[in-house]
Amino acid sequence: MAKTIPNKKSTSKNPQAPNRPQTMESSQPSAPRSSFLSSPYLPYLIIFLFTTGIYFNTLWNQYAIDDTLVLTENKFTLQGFGGIKDLMTHDAFVGFFGERGSELVSGGRYRPLSIVTLAVEVEFFGMNPKISHGVNILLFSLTCLLLYHLLQYLIPKKKQSPFYLSIPFIATMLFAGHPIHTEAVANIKGRDEIMGLLFSLVALWGAVKYVKTQNPVHILWGMTAFFLALLSKENAITFIAIIPLTFYFFTNAKLRDYMVMIGLYLIPILVFLYMRTIYTKATLGAESPEILNNPFAYLPKNTDGLLQRYATIIMTFILYFKLLIFPHPLTHDYYFNQIPFVGISDPLFLLSFVVNGALLIYALMGLSKKSLPSYAILFYFITFSIVSNLVFTVGILMNERFVYMCSIGFCLLLAYLLVKAKERFNLPVQAVMGILVVILLLYSVKTISRNRVWLDNLTLFLVDAKTSDNSAKVQMSAGGDITKFADENFDVLRKNGRLQYVTDILDMNPTLPDSVLKKQFLQKAIQYLNRTLTIYPTHSNAWLLLGNAAYKLNKDPKEAMGYYEKAAAYRVGGYYDAWYNMGCVQIENNMSGLAKDNFLKANAIKPDEFACRFNLAVAYMNINMADSALFWFKKTLELKPLDAVTYYKMGTIYGKQLNDLDMAIKYISKAIEYNPNVELYYEDLGVAYGLKNMPDDAIRVSEECLKKFPNYIPALRNITISYSKKGEMKKAEEYNARIIALTKPH
């Protein structure tokens, strides 16, 4: 038998080469390993391709729900670079709601960085949802890549184990594919969640690198990343506990390391909290009286109410577990009254209390052993704490995006159980991989299909109204958007397939005549809105939308007025939209005297609304109160100094009501200057010149009109009359012949 010679001293020319026993295999030239399977970059490639693949179809989605708050109707974001200062110095809701937005929800919302990125997109690309969705996909992919890199650093795989059987890889793939993340990724507004976690993980990476290397540079860039995480979304603050937890479980950090990290990472927290305090008005203790902004608004302020509040909150914890384990059905809407309140005797509360309590006890018992399940459970509960409603009211009982960050804990635990099951039961690799592939396949199918639901508002509302059938908010939203859809051009919608798509969801026949389809859409809208009012009878916005739908369907002003009056009565402080809509319906039905009163009420709430000022002026004009009409038209021009219609209306008042032809000519001429493409302006200006006995000017204006609109008969008629006045009958007959030719039946 050959004798093994111990290597006491390396014979390699490389002084860094390890001492290894020489065997027959090692003495032979080594066979080249598969460069593909052994590449350290392969898992990163798989993760990147997987994440981009399952979210690729979001690139065809449009804007949806809260995208209006942060992008499409945010006056700061729409300014591009010019709005960045305001985004950094205001509550997140101010750009959409105005100053009242800073007081809508308890604690306010200060998360400017994610919205700033949208302003940058607007500056370079304009309004382009494909770009915004693409950025979300890229940021989510980077998050997953960083998560794998960090977990691999903290939890090294066994030497002989392939990467695809490692906890870091399995956990990352589960996190990347979990369908509960569709709300964060498929909704552009969800970027705050993505960026908050991405920068939080960078901050954790910097802190861990500092412990491993004792190089202060790492903790400095970690602090910077932590500040960016906080500016992205407030729940990043939980990482001030996650980082020392990670130190304890995965590093040999000394007390000094804990002290340095906490001391330095508190600096960005204090700076952030200072900025948040001065730029948001809402205080943490102030709760909104509106049930859709404060789910506890209707609970009695006594012990029973308090017990109900916390019993319901804890009950939602088990609902989150259910969605993490079995993510179906999903919905964006858990508003009032989708989750009814429960008491402390409710079985679901008791189950949730026991399960969550047991998990916490198990995690705490495993602290001394530094077991990975303990870390995963504590990670979940720490990051979940700030959105749980236990500490702060977050405006809604639950939301799927709330577990975006803490689902890392769930995925870590599930990955651990899969790997341990293989070891304990000696399962073949194929069995473990088969389980993982099946889970990821199911996740992918659900994620890809759910992405399409986020196509736009109407699709999202109609689909989720079936799941959240007891939510006043989504039922109302569905009714409101169907009302808008009824006004669309159905021929265009047939060609692009949109009509077929919507009618399929509503179980309608798209081949029906347009008039019948419109009627059926409005009837569907009224059904949704009546369902809303069954759930929430004093919902002012639902009454408003019901008034809109009913008026479009029945054209009955009395019916619409009844709905609008209820909308105004149920809105504390008055309701601009209700009074404005009343005025519009009344003007349309020759009730301008009543309309002006409602426009005045609306104007008192929003004094700087162009449409309200304009219609108020029209109402005064219709009841022959010329001075008041001119006053409000001039107020309208303060908001839009170049508005041609306003100048035209003022010109007609001067000409028809005040018989001041000079002023009429002045204002109608201004209307043509600002919009030279309206035939009526030329016609009335020509008439004014004719009445003032200025036929040459009347002919000149009418000729200008005919250059743009050669067959406009009123202009030809004005020229005919003007030439007749001048006694140039041949010219008059020439133009009259053109009129006869145009009006002659073919």
pLDDT at 364 over 60: yes
Contacts of residue 706, defined as CB under 8 A and 6 or more positions apart, other chains included, come to 712, 715, 716, 719
Mean pLDDT for 73-92 is 96
Q: Higher-confidence residue: 394 or 131?
A: 131
Q: Note the residue count of the chain.
A: 746
Query: For the structural domain made of 642-746, what CATH number should be given?
Result: 1.25.40.10
pLDDT, the chain, mean? 92
Alpha helices in 59-166 (DSSP H): 67, 84-88, 94-97, 112-125, 129-154
pLDDT tens-digit readout, 528-558: 999 999 999 999 999 999 999 999 999 999 9
> If pLDDT is split at 50, 70 and 90, which confidence band does 289 have?
confident
**Alpha carbon distance 614, 606 (integer Å):** 13
pLDDT the model gives residue 10: 38
Q: Do domains 456-572 and 642-746 have the same CATH topology?
A: yes
pLDDT tens-digit readout, 115-171: 999 999 999 999 999 999 999 999 999 999 999 999 999 998 777 788 999 999 999
In the chain, DSSP finds a helix count (H) and a strand count (E) of 35, 0
Parse the chain into domains and list their residue ranges. Answer: 42-279, 303-452, 456-572, 642-746
pLDDT tens-digit readout, 184-214: 999 999 999 999 999 999 999 999 999 999 9
> If pLDDT is split at 50, 70 and 90, which confidence band does 674 have?
very high
**Alpha carbon distance 186, 455 (integer Å):** 9
Angle between helices 695-708 and 679-691 (to 10 degrees): 170
> If pLDDT is split at 50, 70 and 90, which confidence band does 7 have?
very low
Q: Look at the block and give the residue holding tokens 């301008």.
A: 592
> If pLDDT is split at 50, 70 and 90, which confidence band does 731 have?
very high
Superfamily, domain 456-572: Tetratricopeptide repeat domain (1.25.40.10)
What the block records as the tokens of 739 is 């009129």
pLDDT at 457 over 80: yes
**Alpha carbon distance 243, 224 (integer Å):** 15
pLDDT the model gives residue 573: 86
> If pLDDT is split at 50, 70 and 90, which confidence band does 22 have?
very low
**Helix (H) / strand (E) containing 416:** helix 407-425
pLDDT at 472 over 60: yes
Contacts of residue 566, defined as CB under 8 A and 6 or more positions apart, other chains included, come to 540, 543
**Alpha carbon distance 65, 481 (integer Å):** 11
> If pLDDT is split at 50, 70 and 90, which confidence band does 34 have?
low
pLDDT tens-digit readout, 621-647: 999 999 999 999 999 999 999 999 999
pLDDT at 26 over 60: no
pLDDT tens-digit readout, 691-719: 999 999 999 999 999 999 999 999 999 99
The 8-class DSSP code of residue 90 comes to S
**Alpha carbon distance 118, 680 (integer Å):** 42
**Alpha carbon distance 613, 589 (integer Å):** 19
**Alpha carbon distance 562, 117 (integer Å):** 44
pLDDT the model gives residue 63: 97
Instruction: Determine contact, residues 261/244, Cβ cutoff 8 Å.
Output: yes
pTM of the model: 0.88
pLDDT at 19 over 50: no
Mean pLDDT for 344-364 is 98
**Helix (H) / strand (E) containing 253:** none
pLDDT the model gives residue 100: 65
Mean pLDDT for 323-333 is 97
Question: Which of 20-29, 128-137, 304-313, 511-520 has the weakest average pLDDT?
Answer: 20-29
> If pLDDT is split at 50, 70 and 90, which confidence band does 105 have?
low
pLDDT the model gives residue 107: 64
Q: How far apart are the first and last CA of the chain?
A: 116
- Omega before residue 693 within 30° of 0, cis: no
pLDDT at 15 over 60: no
The 8-class DSSP code of residue 634 comes to H
**Alpha carbon distance 212, 215 (integer Å):** 8
- Using CA of residue 239, residue 240, residue 245, residue 250, what is the dihedral sign? positive
pLDDT the model gives residue 684: 97
> If pLDDT is split at 50, 70 and 90, which confidence band does 361 have?
very high
**Alpha carbon distance 168, 157 (integer Å):** 8
Angle at 406 between CA 400 and CA 407, to 5 degrees: 70
The 8-class DSSP code of residue 496 comes to T
pLDDT tens-digit readout, 592-628: 999 999 999 999 999 999 999 999 999 999 999 999 9
Ramachandran bin of 707, using left for φ above 0, alpha for ψ from -120 to 50, beta for the remaining angles: alpha
